[in-house]
Amino acid sequence: MEYKKYNCNSYNIHTIKTDKFKTVRMEIIFSREVAKEEMPIFTFLSDILTDSGKNYKSRRDIAIKLEELYKATFYGTSSKVGNLFTASFILEFIAPNYINEEGYLEEVLKFPFEVINNPRVKNKEFDLTNFNIIKKRVLEEIDSIIENSDRLALIKSLEKMDNNSPSSFKVLGSREDINNITPSSLYDAYLELLNHSNCDIYIIGNINMEEAVNIIKTNFKNRVIKLKNISLKVNNKVRRKAQIVVEKSTFVQSTLVMIYNINNLAEEYKDSAFHVFNYLLCSGGISSKLYQYLRCDNALCYAVRSLYLKYDGLFIIEVSLDQKNVKLAQNLIKKSIKEMIKAQFSSELVEDAKKNLIISLQMSSDNNVSILNNYIFHTFSNLPLIDERIKALKKVEKKDIMACGKSLVLNTVYIQEAGEIDARN
């Protein structure tokens, strides 16, 4: 695999040349610091920009073009990692050597730029029909949060933790945020995103990268900004005493969420030891402590989930279960963490966990999306490349895992209580 970076003044192109995949993937990523009021409109924008264009009056026209390009895929998405917001435009297409069509690479690579550079805009306003379609879709997506008990509990627990923290901000925003967007304000946001955000373009696959870079340079220019350094880190406050929040729901199961701050943990542990800690505690599945205590020994639940938000400095445990078992689950989670701090796990388990994590990393190099994601965070936040991460994992010792456990400070216990079993119909 050959990694290269091309500085194109107002943006960078990062290429990974490999003949391992039949697919070529390109991600055009605009990035900014998280700002609560900005994210909803940029999310709206990433959707509308891939749903229509000056030469494509609706998604249908785009879909036909993509089918003509041998079923290429193209979509927009937005996300938030720590204090970094990204609006991304993703294109995947078949490597040209499989189809032997002259000019295919140029045609497929210039397509996303044609769409992004030429939105369906008149008099500095987005087309109203396209606007209304996306507005309805985004509003429905916001509303649909109530359909998923785990997602709802997670969102609410973070808001209860601190609704001023970027960790609790939603990229979709609220109904009110979306209702405040107009076709004209959306166009202003378009200019802002394109002209005043960092931009990085990543490509992985088996193509002539020099040719690809030239095609991109020809089709994407006129940006004038200087790229900024953005820190991904969020400083979430630690509570002296954890808060307990209980809310009623209409779900059959209750959901328990426990949010911990990761406090004063040395940087060197964050990409290695903490993953081993999490693996032994929960993410290792049936063999982990939480699965053992909650599922195998006490049959309290089907699954336990843990979420390690490195850049937010948070560690979250979530479990769906019967209301009567919530207290017992809380106690078992606390007991498990205490045992991790006291190193009540064998050295053999540590070695197995390290081995398993290393194997997962090795396997991730068989997937173009995983390779690209790792590389994206390597460029954004110096996340070590896969080989370096493997080396760091090999060095993890029991004391490092204990340090990870010790860094946890319980912040919020959120309980989404099951509703009455009602006669709905």
Partner 1 sequence: MQEINLKGLNETIYYDKCPNGLKIYMWVKKDINTFYGTLSVKYGSIFNEFKIGNKEYKMPKGIAHFLEHVKFNEDKDVTAHDYFFKKGSDTNAFTTFNYTNYQVLGSIDAKDNIIHLLDFVQNGYFTKEIVNNEKGIITEEAKMGEDDPYTVMLFKHLDNLFNEYEYKYLITGTPKDIKAITLNDIKKVYETFYHPENMFLVVTGNFNPYELDEAIRENQEKKQFNTYLNPERIMKKESKKVRVENEEYKINVSNKKIKIGIKIAKKNLKNYDDLHIRLYTNLLLRANFGATSDFKDELLMKELISNLSFMSDLFDDYLLIMFTIDSDYKNEILNMFNEKLNNLKMDEKTFERMKKANIASLILEYEDVEVVNNIIQTEVLNYGDVIDNIKEIYENITYGDIKKFINELDLSNRSILILNPLD
Report if residue 390 touches partner 1, rule: CB under 8 A: no
- Could you tell me if residue 9 is left (phi over 0), alpha (psi between -120 and 50 degrees) or otherwise beta? left
Sign of CA dihedral 392, 394, 400, 404: positive
User: Which residue is it, tokens 């005493």?
Assistant: 241
Residue 338 CA, chain-centre distance (Å), reads 30
Contact between 1 and partner 1 by CB under 8 A: the answer reads no
**Shortest reach from residue 50's CB to partner 1, in Å:** 12
Gap between the Cα atoms of 341 and 410, Å rounded:
14
Closer to partner 1 by Cβ: residue 144 or 344: 144
In the set 264, 285, 346, 347, which binds partner 1 (CB under 8 A)?
A: 285
Closest CA to 350 of 291, 281, 403: 281
Give yes or no for a contact between 23 and 95, defined as CB atoms under 8 angstroms apart. Answer: yes
122 binds partner 1 (CB under 8 A): no
Residue 362 touching partner 1 (CB under 8 A): yes
Residue 137 binds to partner 1 (criterion: CB under 8 A):
yes
Find the binder of partner 1 among 144, 208, 243, 264 (CB under 8 A): 144
Residue among 9, 55, 118, 132 that touches partner 1 (CB under 8 A): 132
Verify binding: residue 307, partner 1, rule CB under 8 A.
no
Regarding 284 and contact with partner 1 (CB under 8 A), the answer is yes
Position 287 contacts partner 1 (CB under 8 A): yes
Could you tell me the smallest distance in angstroms from the CB atom of residue 151 to partner 1?
A: 11
Within 10 A of 262 (CB to CB), how many other CB atoms are there?
A: 21
Q: What is the Cα–Cα distance from 216 to 55, expressed in whole angstroms?
A: 19
> Phi and psi of 260, rounded to 5°?
-115, 140
**How many residues interact with partner 1 (rule CB under 8 A)?**
58
Residue 363 makes contact with partner 1 by CB under 8 A? yes
CA distance 63 to 52: 10
β 243-248/408-417 pair status? parallel
Q: Is the dihedral of CA 175, 179, 181, 183 positive or negative?
A: positive
Instruction: Supply the DSSP symbol for 384.
Output: P
- Contact between 250 and partner 1 by CB under 8 A: the answer reads yes
Q: Applying CB under 8 A, does 374 fall inside the site for partner 1?
A: no
Q: Is 147 in the site for partner 1 (CB under 8 A)?
A: yes
- Shortest Å distance, C-beta 170 to partner 1: 15
Q: Is 137 exposed, middle or buried (0-12, 13-18, 19+ CB in 10 A)?
A: middle
Q: Does 165 bind partner 1 (CB under 8 A)?
A: no
Within 58-77, the residues that bind partner 1 by CB under 8 A are 58-60, 63-64, 67-68, 70-71
Which residues between 310 and 349 bind partner 1 (CB under 8 A)?
320-322
Region from 171-179, 189-197, 208-216, 282-290 binding partner 1, contact rule CB under 8 A? 282-290
Q: What backbone torsions phi and psi does residue 29 show, to the nearest 5 degrees? A: -115, 120
In the complex, minimum distance from the CB of residue 379 to partner 1, in angstroms, rounded to a whole number: 24
Of 32, 162, 43, give the one whose Cα is nearest residue 84. Answer: 32
**Does residue number 35 form part of the binding site for partner 1 (CB under 8 A)?**
no
CA-angle at 80, arms to 76 and 86, nearest 5°: 45
Question: What is the contact surface with partner 1 in residues (CB under 8 A)?
Answer: 20-23, 58-60, 63-64, 67-68, 70-71, 94, 98-99, 129, 132-133, 136-137, 140, 143-149, 250-253, 284-287, 295-296, 299-302, 320-322, 352, 355-356, 358-359, 362-363, 365-367, 424-425
